[in-house]
Amino acid sequence: MHSSARTGTKDTRAGRSGPGAARVPAGSHGFLTYAVPVPPAGPSRLWTLLLAAVGGALTRLAFPGTDWWPLAFVGMALLFLALRRDSARWNALVGLVWGLGFFPWLITWADVAVGPVPWIALALVCAGFVAAFGAAWTWARRGEAVRRSRGWQLVVFPLVWVATEELLAVWPFGGFPWGRLAFSQADSPLLPFVSWGGVPLLSALVCVVGVLLGQAGVTVRRANLLGAAASGLAACLVVLAGFLVPLDSGAQDGELVVGAVQGDVPGEGLDAFGERAQVLANHVQGTRALLDRVEPGELDVVLWPENGTDIDPQVDEAAAAAIDGAARALQAPMLVGTVQYPESGGRYNTSVLWEPGQGVVATYTKQRPAPFAEYIPMRGIARHFSSAVDLVTRDMLPGDEPGYVPLESPRLGRTVGLGTVICFEVAYDGLVRSAVRAGGEVLVVQTNNASFGWSDESLQQLAMSRVRAVEHGRATVQISTVGVSAVIRPNGAVTERTELFTADQMVASLPLRTSQTWATRLGSWPAWIVDALALSSVVAGAVGAARLRGTNRGEAA
């Protein structure tokens, strides 16, 4: 039987002949033959798993902390090479290994914040999605066009990957989009493409470059140096094409002069906000310190971070007096991150616009509380894995309005739209986009990173804010309780930033922009199109392979 597959004589088990009759396992029932050639098995299984583990680790190094963004291409190339075998089960294992080489080291901040069990559980869930990708890619590649054509592989591999990212971004419990490839490219020439098709397009282009490099590796192994050079050159051209994408970062309707206050907190980790009055005092003091840099009335608005006060100034007179006193001293409204406790139970994470002498005139409520951190799904079950769930005594409730805060600017003589998101919301495409579509002329990312210590979490969040600035063509301010805070131009450039666990202030003039990028206009359509095409590719490949198996079984009988 072995010689028949090699020499082209008739394969009596498969019922066909020819050199293209390569065999694939079929459970315990022997071997069946595809009507089209399968990819060569490639490296040994052990070497394949090593490729996957190294690929995941290298991709982690592309993200903030190290910021070696080209390694994302290498990591995806190694994953492409590691998935050369034609077994969905095996490739699911390969994907899992890649995911375990990537996610645990990307989100070490989860261990800092909530402990090892939730950290490992989250990493395993995320790695499971890469395992699902490995199986899905195997099925999609069984389609005759994809199997025969390197060009189709160059299209379908990124489609399936991005669809997997999109699924993880929405499920389970609202999703966890933290490890999307696009967020590793804040310093890459590819970044401008995000203004065309959003995060899905940017992630897809990282995959495209990775597949081209992987194909170059395959052709080198076959001693086809010309083909390898062509693939490598194509990969370089894709990356360099980003320099041709225009980015307009100039003001379209004036500039907004803002002050941003990073007040710092007395401690770190879960105890960082044990002294709520001190946190409020730190931010009041930091606000008054702005007077060393500006004159009263010079600022259009002062920005505080998420949890700038965990004492609700709408019910606590002392907190209200402290905030109003700072606002009066600056003669400027303040966007304050605080909390609200409704009588019906639960709590809200809110951002309130405080006018001096008037109090709250506008409010935004966080729409996407973080599961297992700000609220506990399935509390009874989760308690069996970690007693830390009981530290969340009141579950956070979601808001239902876009992150738009209207700011009356006497200096500009009009209402300026502030697009506002809170903390992890910056990772969710739809939440940021809805803030811009509602009228946001600048973006404000209010966040509290105190629970994550000295980890890379704040830097990873900053990279997301930079991607969002380019995606929607908006100047962006990320303002944190403890850092890293930054001012970002609409082209993604950081003009000012702070360090971790320091009290600091920033003053900046932000260009106000009202036009919408193609990514803003298209909305979720690119993602939906990718999902549909990816699903079609996977189903077509799987159904086609199943039909061939049925035909082969019939012929063998």
As beta bridge partners, residue 478 has 445, 486
483 with 502: CB under 8 angstroms?
A: yes
Q: How far apart are CA 168 and CA 177, in angstroms?
A: 6
Residue 229 vs residues 14, 216, 220, 223, 392: alpha-carbon distances, Å: 38, 7, 9, 11, 56
Q: SS3 breakdown of the chain: % helix, strand, coil, rounded to 5?
A: 50, 15, 35
Q: What is the largest CA-CA distance in the chain?
A: 92
Q: Characterise 170 by phi-psi region: left (phi > 0), alpha (psi -120 to 50), beta (else).
A: alpha
Q: Is 10 a catalytic residue?
A: no
Q: How far apart are CA 514 and CA 536, in angstroms?
A: 37
Cα angle: 272, vertex 274, 277; to 5 degrees? 105
Q: Which residue among the candidates 165, 166, 306, 471 is catalytic per the annotation?
A: 306
| Cα 411 to chain centroid, rounded | 37
Cα angle: 459, vertex 463, 467; to 5 degrees? 165
Residue 363 buriedness (CB in 10 A; 0-12 / 13-18 / 19+):
middle
Q: Which residue among the candidates 165, 207, 366, 441 is catalytic per the annotation?
A: 366
Label the pairing between strands 255-262 and 301-303.
parallel
197 with 519: CB under 8 angstroms?
A: yes
97 with 368: CB under 8 angstroms?
A: no
- Which pair of structure tokens corresponds to residue 218? 């395959």
197 with 147: CB under 8 angstroms?
A: no
Q: Is 126 a catalytic residue?
A: no
Label the pairing between strands 476-480 and 486-488.
antiparallel
Nearest CA-CA partner of 37 in 120, 124, 148, 117: 148
Residue 487 vs residues 239, 314, 442, 444: alpha-carbon distances, Å: 26, 29, 11, 10
DSSP annotation string for 215-236: HHHHHHHTT-HHHHHHHHHHHH
Helix axes 276-289, 317-330, angle to 10 degrees: 10
- Which pair of structure tokens corresponds to residue 154? 């160059």
483 with 458: CB under 8 angstroms?
A: yes
Q: Which are the contacts of 255, defined by CB distance < 8 A and separation ≥ 6? A: 509, 510, 511, 512
Q: Which residue among the candidates 423, 441, 457, 471 is catalytic per the annotation?
A: 423
174 with 368: CB under 8 angstroms?
A: yes
Q: How far apart are CA 204 and CA 194, in angstroms?
A: 10
What positions carry a catalytic annotation? 306, 366, 423
